[in-house]
Amino acid sequence: MSDDNVIEQHIEIKETGLSSIDVLSDATTLSKNIIKQTMAKGAVWLSRGKQTQRLRRANRKLHSGDTLHLYYNPDILALVPPEAHLIADEGEYSVWFKPCGLLSQGSKWSDHCTIARWVSQHLQPERPAFIVHRLDRAATGLILVAHTKKATTLLTELFQQRKIKKTYEAIVHGRFPASPEVLTIKTPIDEKPAISHSRLVKYSTERNCSLISIDIETGRKHQIRKHLSGSGFPILGDRLYSDEEHFNTDLQLSAVSLSFTCPIYHKPRQYNLVNQLRPQL
């Protein structure tokens, strides 16, 4: 797709009462049907006063002084989100299996391929969806989604206070050491402390690969991938931190367990990913 098809436009509104779809239709060559689809996928924003938010309502009436922002990229908007699976619905929050390719966070160009958008469109009864932690786009596994501001605040605080235990599994190249029983890696990431604990679950002589379990004390960006690669055990399918010449598999890293004391219902919660959704050695 040529860059000529990409539109980034910022339209200052001079008159109160105009509808957003009419303004965008007059300002671009896009049809009203395409504009509606673009809005639904989160590529149109409205600035009013000090707030800027995604705008999805095609007939939203605008005020003088508003600014409409259009970020139209047909390649991005044509992407189809992979299907997430509900693990548990706890009312004020839910737990989902995030597949490879589904994003934790959107961009100005869209949010239709994010876990939050998937949840808000598929969970019944319908509720708003707020992300309280993230998984890499290429990673799979359990992710918490909040549905109220209260749950968002409380669950975010649990993550910040490291009161949620997250366990991951990964398949790495080579024979991972069985001794010591737990290999602790403390290499800083971006000059910030980062601690990962890994242990061998199973080794495959035929594939010369190891299935390992990882617990992390910190949550730096790409922490597990960087720590394992830096220790000589890159994760299979890691296109950023592996020297593989040919990639015939997705990233073999998955968040397989979440455990914490629920700050809303004050009960212990434990969520485990079923074996068929975990990395298979």
Catalytic residues: 136
d(CA 196, CA 216): 4
In angstroms, how far is CA 221 from the centroid of its own chain?
A: 12
Task: Give how far the C-alpha of residue 127 lies from the chain's centroid of Cα atoms, to the nearest Å.
Answer: 18
Residues 216, 196: contact at Cβ < 8 Å? yes
Tally of CB atoms within 10 A around 89: 15
- For residue 118, the SS3 value is helix
How far apart, in whole angstroms, are the C-alpha atoms of residue 182 and residue 253? 18
On whether the CB atoms of residues 98 and 135 are closer than 8 A, the answer is yes
Distance CA 113, CA 94 (A): 18
Handedness of CA 15, 18, 21, 23 (dihedral sign): negative
CA distances from 249 to 34, 142, 168, 225, 276 (A): 35, 20, 18, 16, 16
Q: Are 63 and 20 in contact (CB under 8 A)?
A: no
